């Protein structure tokens, strides 16, 4: 093999007497990037940073809970068989579907209670969420997890023997699906920002487009991955989730953006009402 991508020998960073989990650091970096991009976009629209920080605090907490809960429910056999196994997020195991769902739901409650538009905020946060997902995938590289099928390509990812599935013990390099998703998501961030800048988008259509972009790429990545997963027929569970979410979000985007008539549009389409005639001789001045 001419070249390959090495994997870290450990998922921890030693800073003197302090040991830091690289997976957790990637999550913190992803959260910071999302807050920065969301705050920049929100304040340019006349909003304030205080709301962004409040949504971040509650949304991130709920997102981590939702992401871990989704993983535990769908991949219980991968949870460490210890009392603390359910909480061991530093070892990986966060389902993006549960994280986005619960995080967005709680964030929407915070925005609504502040008196701001939930739809507008959803569109503002969409590129930031995809950026966070891109950066967060580097945590999988540190943990040597969620890689794809064996490959001899120059960008094949080196995986230690103890991390390889039993059926692929003789293979040394695998598709770096974390890198594929990182690059794909970065392109998606650029697409969302360009669409939002060049076109008039009806909130929350940009958020729906974000879901469509992510799930489209995630579907094909699921066809490459070899980590344990429940299967329904010919596809992995997350492939089915990606497919259903893509169809639903795309249909919503097309309908909401191009076919749904807003109340203001309907009122403008109605003919003007004729003025009411007032009988002569009955006009009285107001006193």
Tell me the pLDDT tens digit for each residue of 103-141: 999 999 999 999 999 999 999 999 999 999 999 999 999
Task: Domain of residue 239: give its range.
Answer: 18-47+117-160+171-260
In the prediction, which pLDDT does 270 show?
41
Task: Kindly report, residue by residue over 194-229, the tens digit of the pLDDT.
Answer: 999 999 999 999 999 999 999 999 999 999 999 888
Closest CA to 212 of 174, 248, 179: 248
In the prediction, which pLDDT does 266 show?
42
In the prediction, which pLDDT does 80 show?
60
Closest CA to 7 of 170, 179, 169: 179
Q: What is the pTM of this model?
A: 0.86
Residue 267 forms part of a structural domain: no
> Cβ neighbours of residue 223 under 8 Å, at least 6 residues apart?
239
Residue 237 forms part of a structural domain: yes
Residue 205 forms part of a structural domain: yes
Q: What is the DSSP letter of 169?
A: T
Look at 13 and 286; give whichever has higher pLDDT.
13
Residue 240 forms part of a structural domain: yes
User: In 3-state terms, what secondary structure has residue 34?
Assistant: helix
Please report, for the chain, how many H helices and E strands are present, in that order.
Answer: 9, 6
Residue 104 forms part of a structural domain: no
Task: Kindly report, residue by residue over 42-94, the tens digit of the pLDDT.
Answer: 999 999 999 999 999 999 999 988 888 887 777 656 666 664 556 666 555 67
Task: Kindly report, residue by residue over 169-199, the tens digit of the pLDDT.
Answer: 999 999 999 999 999 999 999 999 999 999 9
Residue 209 forms part of a structural domain: yes
Burial 135-161 (b: 16+ CB within 10 A, else e): bbbbbbbbbbbbbbebbeeeebbbbee
Phi, psi of 97 (to 5 degrees): -65, -50
Q: Is the model's pLDDT at 268 over the cut of 90?
A: no
> What total of structural domains would you count in the chain?
1
- Rounded Cα–Cα distance for residues 248 and 244 (Å): 6
Phi, psi of 226 (to 5 degrees): -120, 5
Residue 233 forms part of a structural domain: yes
In the prediction, which pLDDT does 287 show?
45
Residue 43 forms part of a structural domain: yes
- Rounded Cα–Cα distance for residues 159 and 9 (Å): 9
């Amino acid at each position: 093999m001419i070249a390959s991508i090495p994997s870290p020998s450990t998922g921890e960073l030693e800073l003197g007497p302090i040991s830091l989990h690289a997976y957790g650091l990637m999550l913190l970096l992803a959260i910071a990037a999302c807050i920065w991009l969301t705050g920049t976009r929100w304040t340019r629209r006349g909003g304030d940073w205080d709301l962004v920080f409040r949504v971040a605090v509650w949304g991130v907490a709920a997102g981590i809970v939702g992401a871990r809960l989704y993983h535990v429910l769908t991949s219980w056999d991968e949870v460490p068989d210890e009392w603390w196994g359910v909480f061991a997020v530093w070892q990986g195991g966060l389902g993006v579907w549960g994280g986005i769902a619960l995080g967005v739901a709680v964030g929407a409650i915070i925005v609504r209670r502040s008196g701001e538009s939930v739809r507008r905020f959803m569109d503002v946060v969409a590129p930031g969420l995809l950026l966070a997902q891109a950066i967060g995938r580097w945590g999988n590289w540190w943990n040597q997890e969620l890689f794809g099928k064996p490959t001899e390509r120059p960008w094949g990812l080196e995986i230690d023997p103890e991390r390889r599935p039993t059926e692929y013990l003789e293979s040394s390099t695998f598709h770096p699906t974390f890198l594929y998703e990182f690059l794909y998501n970065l392109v998606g961030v650029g697409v969302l920002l360009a669409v939002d800048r060049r076109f008039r988008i009806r909130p929350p259509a940009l958020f729906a487009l974000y879901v469509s972009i992510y799930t489209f790429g995630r579907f094909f990545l699921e066809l490459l991955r070899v980590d344990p997963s429940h299967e329904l027929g010919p596809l992995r569970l997350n492939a089915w989730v990606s497919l259903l979410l893509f169809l639903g979000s795309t249909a919503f985007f097309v309908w909401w953006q191009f076919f749904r008539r807003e109340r203001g549009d309907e009122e403008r389409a109605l003919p003007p009402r004729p003025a009411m005639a007032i009988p002569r001789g009955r006009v009285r001045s107001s006193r």
